[in-house]
Amino acid sequence: MKPLIFLDIDGVLNSARSAVAHITKSKAYVSFQDRVADQLDPVAVLMMARVCRETEADIVISSTWRKFTTVPTFLEVFARYGWENAPVIGLTPITSKGYRGTEVKMFLEQNQDLQGRPYVCIDDDS
C-alpha cells in the first residue's frame, strides 16, 4: 500500500540558507510561481523527490503555503527543480484553528479512498 506524506514546506523544503539567499535577491517577480520557486532549497526538494520515488509515496501539502497556491502550482514549482511529475495529490483543508493534526484527520475523513494507507507528517514543528 502506497504511503502518504503530509508535507510542510517552511523548514522542510527551504532553510535559513535558502531564505537568506531569497531575501538578498532584489528581483521583480513575474508570477507567484517564480516567487515561490525562488524560496526553496534545491537539495531539499531533490531529497524529497528521492524519498517519494523510493517509497512510491503520494504527497498531501499540509503547509500554510497551501492557503496561497494550488496543486498545479506546486507541481510546476517542483518541476523547476528537476522533480517532474511530483506525486502531489492534494492539500489538507484549512481550519480556523490551524491545527495540523486536525487538518490531516479531516483530509483522511474527506478522502475515504485513502484511509488505511500508512502516512507520515514531515514538518519542522510539533
| pLDDT higher than 90, residue 5 | yes
Give residue 109's pLDDT: 95
* Residue among 60, 59, 25 nearest 39 (CA): 25
| pLDDT higher than 60, residue 25 | no
Instruction: Summarize pLDDT for 66-114 with one digit per residue, the tens.
Output: 988 899 999 999 998 899 999 999 999 998 887 889 999 999 999 999 9
110's CB contacts (< 8 A; 6+ apart) are 93
**Separation between Cα atoms, residue 64 and residue 10, nearest integer Å:** 9
* Residues in a beta bridge with 121: 6
Winning range, highest mean pLDDT, from 16-20, 52-56, 96-100: 52-56
Q: Mean pLDDT, to the nearest integer, of 18-23?
A: 66
Instruction: Kindly state the percentage of the chain with pLDDT values over 70.
Output: 84
